[in-house]
Structure 1
Amino acid sequence: MEQLEDFKNAELLNALKAGDSAAFNEIYHQYRKKIYGYAYHFSRDGEEAEELTQDVFVRLWENRSKIDPKKNFEAFIYTLIRNNFLSTLRKKAREKVYSEENLKYEQSFNTIEEELNAKETKQIVHKAIESLSPQVKKIYLLSRNGHHTHEEISQLMGISKNTVNNHLKKSLGILRKYFSTYSPETILSLLLIMLC
């Protein structure tokens, strides 16, 4: 009975070696649980063991020409798992070192980049505000920088609340148009500045 099983496995492995996908599917169904068990033994993590298992089958298909049906197939599989696991560990170690080294560089770069973007945005906002007519500009600055209410601006300038409201709407429309023309990529920053 054991000889018949060995003959059947050798036939299956020869078919796999020749690129037979049905043979590959049969081997997948026969060995999947065992390979998962080996992978879990190495990783001690179900998700990682599942990844390793899938990876082993991909590598098995890619390396099918190296299969020797006369040799112990399980030893071949075990070697694939071990090598794959060690490769994964090395990759994770390199990624950890890389990410730790680059995290500090990225943080300082992001801070500098944010400062430059904020400075550039403020310059564009300043130019946009300078493009407003004197009265509209004064009302905008009293509202946004001076934090005055429409009522207070109305009293300060001796104009109706409705006029203040219209001038503010006009200023925001002009600023939006200015930004979309001169700096469309920073329109979000403008909106944030205008809302603040």
Structure 2
Amino acid sequence: MQYRQKTDAELVVLLTLNDEEAFSELYVRYKSKLQYFCFHFLKVESEACDIVQEVFIRIWESRCFINPELSFSSFLYVMARNRVLNYFKHIDVENKIKDILAKQSLEEENIESDLISTEYQDILRTAIEHLPPQRKKIFNMSRIDGMSHKEIAAILNISVYTVQEHISEALAFIRHYFAQHSDLSLGLMLLWII
């Protein structure tokens, strides 16, 4: 209750001191506004939610470096805007890759597509198998079963933040795994798909 009465600057000071309740209060204050902001550009609710979760994960990870004297809301919106821009850059690169593949003959494209798909699936399956059990379960619930972070948190009786952190760590591990276990062109393509 006392955290609701604090200003953003006061909460950020507490956040820099590793105060999880201060972080939770900032999350509650800005989550919906930030999702609306991202949705305005993306027009896809799940992508907007993912970006907001990534922003707050980065906030927590870099909490010691946040300047409480600067506007926290401006900081959040700049981070969200940058992530939205990166999202569109990734989409643009993916579209360019698709255009290049489309220019190849249909037969070559089908053969290459089958090989890439098979290799991608094998590497992805292996990468997921290397995740710690809880992280693997949460990742599969999110990406395979299509459950929201809130649903996963309720089922596993953990916080939404814990779910977000597991998803973020799983994606980072999978990207790293792809970089180590696939050739460069396939790895670059898959970084945008994941």
TM-score normalized by structure 2?
Answer: 0.48
Relative contact order (C-alpha < 8 Å, sep 6+): which is higher?
Answer: 2
* TM-score (norm: length of structure 1): 0.48
